[in-house]
């Protein structure tokens, strides 16, 4: 695997961007992330994925501004199409994902974090989509995913003004789920991942997929799809194990079947 993406595999798998000092998004890093996600998709033993960055300066500070001059026109479109495809792959992973934002998440870095189901930020981290300050716009999902998380009006304010938020401000508007003490973002994400990993994996995956339908289907269709998912869950051996463990007053031993 490329050194630009470091992976720690296991039931809780950690993806670490490693392009110091700012973990900038390059075409090479995006390809490496794509290959990593392909491996994760094929591993049914993974219960939760944590995405983080190397170092103390940035989770990911977005694209390399030095590349802008060579990305005019169709070349830039190609880079963005690649990022959209890879980020979509992250967003559509069957298992839950957590962004452990140990330092600043700006531009494409925040767009990457927005693809995760949950976000934990170090209290010293800064978050934002400041692209308009450079005469460009968010092009890897920011204009679509941020409104779905914080609402259209707030997303317009943040994107059109290029504002950068503190972790506390991000938590206040729901952009971040939890704020960690300095240096503890990854550990907090791991604790959340361990809780998720202890739950019924089939139920967790079905619940994630059902929630993700909210912005794409009508309420009636969503309820029908929820019922279908519930039927699959109630046909599983995990459901029987959960009920048995409840009556025996012990922790369940889920297998995902």
**Strand order across the beta sheet in which 5-8 lies:** 5-8, 12-17, 48-53, 97-101, 118-122, 178-180
User: Does the active-site annotation cover 131?
Assistant: yes
**Rounded CA separation 98/114 (Å):** 10
Catalytic annotation present for 257 = no
Q: How far apart are CA 102 and CA 91, in angstroms?
A: 20
User: Angle 74-91/27-41 helices, nearest 10 degrees?
Assistant: 30
Distance CA 142, CA 145 (A): 5
Catalytic residue, from 3, 56, 77, 111: name it: 111
Q: Which of 56, 77, 123, 131 is catalytic?
A: 131
Question: DSSP letter at 66?
Answer: G
Active site positions, annotated:
111, 131
């Amino acid at each position: 695997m490329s050194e630009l993406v470091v992976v720690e595999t296991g039931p809780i798998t950690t993806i670490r961007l490693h392009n110091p000092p700012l973990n900038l998004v390059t075409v090479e890093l995006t390809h490496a992330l794509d290959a990593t996600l392909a491996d994760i998709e094929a591993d049914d033993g993974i219960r939760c994925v944590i995405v983080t960055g190397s170092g103390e300066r940035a989770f990911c500070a977005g694209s390399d501004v030095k590349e802008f001059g060579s990305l005019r026109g169709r070349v830039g479109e190609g880079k963005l199409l690649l990022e959209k495809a890879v980020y979509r792959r992250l967003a559509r992973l069957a298992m839950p994902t957590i962004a452990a934002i140990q330092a600043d998440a700006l531009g494409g870095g925040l767009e990457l974090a927005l693809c995760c189901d949950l976000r934990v930020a170090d209290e010293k981290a800064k978050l934002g989509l400041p692209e308009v300050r450079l005469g460009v716009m968010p092009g890897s999902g920011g204009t679509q995913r941020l409104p779905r998380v914080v609402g259209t009006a707030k997303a317009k304010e943040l994107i059109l003004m290029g504002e950068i938020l503190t972790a506390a401000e991000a938590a206040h508007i729901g952009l971040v789920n939890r704020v960690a003490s300095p240096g503890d973002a990854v550990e907090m994400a791991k604790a959340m991942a361990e809780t998720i990993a202890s739950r019924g994996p089939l139920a967790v995956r079905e619940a994630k997929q059902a929630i993700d339908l909210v912005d794409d289907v009508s309420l009636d269709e969503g309820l029908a799809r929820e019922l279908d998912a519930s039927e699959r869950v109630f046909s599983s051996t995990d459901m029987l194990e959960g009920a048995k463990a409840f009556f025996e007053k012990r922790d369940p031993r889920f297998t995902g079947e």
